[in-house]
Amino acid sequence: MTYEQLKLENQICFPIYAASRLITREYQPLLDELGLTYPQYLVLMVLWESDGLPVNEIGQKLLLNTNTVTPLLKRMEAQGLLSRARSTEDERQVIITLTAQGRALREVAATIPERLVAGLSAEDTNIEALQVMLAELYKIIQHLSEKHG
């Protein structure tokens, strides 16, 4: 038996994993300018889109468990980026709201996607190809989320 199915070059998971790690590494200098980690940036993007969300909804949007999101949110609160408060309608829920400092970062961060894409674009890679790949990855994410959610 040749075990072709076990060669790294034949795995779908490895190039996705490697690309994710390398892209996150490309983000880091841009995020360092803002004093953010990549997971903090993701939380901010969720809140910039829709402020005042319960912790569990943020976790759902980021495909993370609440026990992963909660410590992250506590650190961000200590940094002055957001506030956490019990819901007045359901005290079991904690609502996350951006502070003025967290909202202000949106303006500074607005250039990050464009700067990142510029750094990703090689001579033989174009924006259209990245958009097609993004759409396909979202299809996979949707399918796997429904399958395991």
Structure tokens at 45: 């993007």
β-bridge partners, 73: none
Q: Work out the percent of the chain whose per-residue pLDDT is above 70.
A: 96
- Tally of CB atoms within 10 A around 27: 18
In the DSSP assignment, the letter for residue 63 is: T
> What pLDDT, on a 0 to 100 scale, did the predictor assign at position 99?
98
- Enter the tokens of residue 26: 């490309």
pLDDT confidence of residue 121: 67
Q: What is the pLDDT of residue 97?
A: 98
pLDDT of residue 68: 93
Domain covering 37-103: architecture: Orthogonal Bundle (1.10)
pLDDT at 122: 63
Of 1-15, 70-84, 94-108, the poorest mean pLDDT is in 1-15
- What does pTM read for this prediction? 0.88
pLDDT band at 85, cuts 50/70/90? very high
